[in-house]
Structure 1
């Protein structure tokens, strides 16, 4: 079976659609032509159907770059990159819970000042999911 008869994946169709959108944004395609090619890209069943949609657009690689290797080789990220990405994920995750905790603490503070005496510090309960999540992420590395 040749490459042109092989079934295209959703990711292949989406890659062509993204390149067509970029070409439209750059003014290389008119809206009607973009719409026509986009419909052809999403209706494509094989690589042969996708071929030709990007041929006249400079700077776009054809859809032929897809590998048919059943077990693609993925490189293991370097430890520094892995720890940097993990740090970003933890910051993003804790930032959301941390923000909720800060808002809850401000509400507690305003209500305590408004009543004239300290109220029960209920925002401490907001720390439980944050601490459990941080411990879970720490244990997974």
Structure 2
């Protein structure tokens, strides 16, 4: 059934007209005062005909194809520096987690047996930490921070 000017409009219809009016203000076709007047009329409107009079002197806008909506729909590409920084943080977090687990195991064995053995977790955290530290320092030297 086609909408006639005498048919009642829904809240969704009013919202679509309000969005179109906002876009016309953003493009400079309406002043803020005109927008406020039309918005007041919009929410008093009951039929499609009354809604149509609010935008009769304005060009139609396809709200699904707005430039701002198209740009915001596309995710921004991740920068290479951000990916490297995230990977480095994950590597350090893995090192810290595994190191903590090893020290807890060593401490538990020492407490339950009554004597502490050689601190073997050093052999896990030392070489791995050294490699991570070298990678972090080399990465920081290879990619100097840009000044803005």
TM superposition score normalised by structure 2: 0.42
Larger radius of gyration: 2
TM superposition score normalised by structure 1: 0.44
